[in-house]
Amino acid sequence: MAVINTQGSEFESLITKNEIVLVDFWAEWCAPCKQFAVVYDKVSELYPEIVFAKVNVEQEAELADTFEIRSIPFLMVFKKGILIYAESGSMPESTLIELITQAKVADVSVG
């Protein structure tokens, strides 16, 4: 599955209807965001079963405010609708792959 651009109106259904969803908050003017986008796009091709979403913080300011995004790029990982990772900054391909590996085995069951 290719990286999809998402909007606030579809955000909740995206994270609740998919097993694992990665969300990259970014902006057009952000150089580190552009560098991370290359890694994000490449890794997304390795995991077609995972949703890789992008949120432009300038177009979706309300969504960015909801999550108190103050620094970009900012990556969030949801599993079964539960936020399991949230961190700002770019990362190399190997770190993103490791993060996905951990997300796949993370137990988010209650009780």
Domains belonging to the chain, first-starting first, are 4-105 (3.40.30.10)
49 burial level (CB within 10 Å; 0-12, 13-18, 19+): exposed
Task: Please report the pLDDT score of residue 1 as a whole number.
Answer: 57
Residue for token pair 């949230």: 86
pTM of the model: 0.94
**Residues found in the chain:** 111
Q: In percent, how much of the chain has pLDDT > 90?
A: 87
Exposure string over 98-107, b if 16+ CB within 10 A, otherwise e: ebbeebeeee
Of residues 109 and 41, more confidence is placed in 41
Catalytic residue among 20, 30, 51, 64: 30
Annotated active-site residue 26? The verdict is no
Active-site residue, 33 included: yes
**pLDDT value, residue 31:** 96
Select which of 15, 23, 33, 55 is catalytic. Answer: 33
CA distances from 9 to 13, 39, 105 (A): 8, 26, 29
